[in-house]
Amino acid sequence: MSTVVPTMRHVRGFDIVRPLSVGMLVFMMLPLVFLPLASIFIFGTSNGLDKFWAALTQPDAVFALKLSMATSFWATVFNVIFGLFAAYVLSRHNFWGRNALIVTISLPTAIPTAVAGFALLLLWGPYGTLGRFLTPHGVQLMFTAGAIILANIFVTFPLAFGVIKPVFDTMSRSLEEASATIGATRWQTFWHVTLPSLRGAIVSGALLTFARAVGEFGSTILVSGNLAGRTQTAPLYIFAKFNEGQIEAANAIAIVLALFSFLIFSVLFFARDWLDVD
């Protein structure tokens, strides 16, 4: 996306405000954003790339990264499908309590993640509302990869929905009506007409959900049990290694996560227009 910003001339000759304001913006972002990010890379690679590589390929580190990817992936799959379904229902049907439902779906982003994790424990944990009936039967959901997925689903619940719903709302009804009069079934209309128009929204909703899930910490640390090599995700690994004083180990994973989210947001930024090309 390249947008040409039209500029208005305020003064004769050289306008000092322009370089000054741009410079100020960069200067303010320096300690807040740029320097913290830069220091990860500076520290992580200061002992040489071979040390960095060794820290990265430790079995627990590799496992943590893989676990993060896998749990985030499944949470994303679920939330995109759910978000699509919820957006369809809530924009196509009007019913009593519709607005209440929209608010409820959007709620999980407003809840502190530690509270979300705690809530899941209180429901599914060994002494939880439902968990206490399941535990005697050998069903233990908490402190497993499944618990991490549940926590991820909870905290990223409204993200895909929030991206997809506005597209549904603004979509012209006549497209679907045209498809119906041409002879398509509801399913054919959804598959051939509705879904292609949602392509961009689905991809950006998925990336947003995935990026958020990979970085999830607060709820994961409560429900996962934080067992290295078993239920320890990448952010938990960073925290654990930092506490043990293994800064290089923590740093290697931090670099990977930072690069990864940078990549996702670049894709998000540039791919949206490309996917939405008519």
Partner 1 sequence: MSATSDNVPPIAASVIGISKRFGKTGVLENISLDVAEGEILVLLGASGSGKTTILRIIAGLEQPNTGSVILHGRDVTNLPARERGVGVIFQDYALFPKMTVEKNIGYGLRIRRRRRKEIRKTVDELLSLVQLEEHRKKYPSQLSGGQQQRVAIARTLAYKPEVLLFDEPFGALDTQTRTHLRREIRALLRRVNVPSVFITHDQEEALELGDRVAVINKGHIEQIGTPYEIYNHPATEYVATFLGAANILEGVVREGFVETECAQLPAQLDIQKFRTGDRIKVVFRPEDISLSRTDFLKPGHLKLGPAHIEEVSFVGAYERVRLRLERPGEDCENGEQPSYYLTTETPENRPHSIIATRPKPEASSTQVRIGDRVVVAITSFTVLPGS
State the residues that interact with partner 1 by CB under 8 A. 172, 174-175, 177-185, 188, 192-193, 196-197, 199, 278
What is the amino acid identity at position 176? E
Give 58's contacts (C-beta < 8 A, 6+ positions apart): 249
Shortest distance (Å) from residue 166 CB to partner 1: 16
Nearer to partner 1, 110 or 277 (CB): 277
Shortest distance (Å) from residue 177 CB to partner 1: 6
Nearer to partner 1, 189 or 219 (CB): 189
Shortest distance (Å) from residue 161 CB to partner 1: 22
Nearer to partner 1, 244 or 273 (CB): 273
Alpha-carbon distance of 278 to 271, in angstroms, equals 14
- What φ, ψ does residue 19 adopt, rounded to 5°? -60, -30
Written as six digits, the tokens of 157 are: 């619940």
Alpha-carbon distance of 159 to 211, in angstroms, equals 11
Would you say 116 and 219 are in contact if contact means Cβ atoms under 8 Å apart? yes
Q: What is the DSSP string of 186-237?
A: HHHHIIIIIHHHHHHHHHHHHHHHHHHHHT--HHHHHHH---TTTT--HHHH
Nearer to partner 1, 46 or 185 (CB): 185
Would you say 224 and 116 are in contact if contact means Cβ atoms under 8 Å apart? no
Shortest distance (Å) from residue 77 CB to partner 1: 23
DSSP state of 158: H
Nearer to partner 1, 24 or 175 (CB): 175
Nearer to partner 1, 189 or 224 (CB): 189
Shortest distance (Å) from residue 80 CB to partner 1: 19
Shortest distance (Å) from residue 111 CB to partner 1: 37
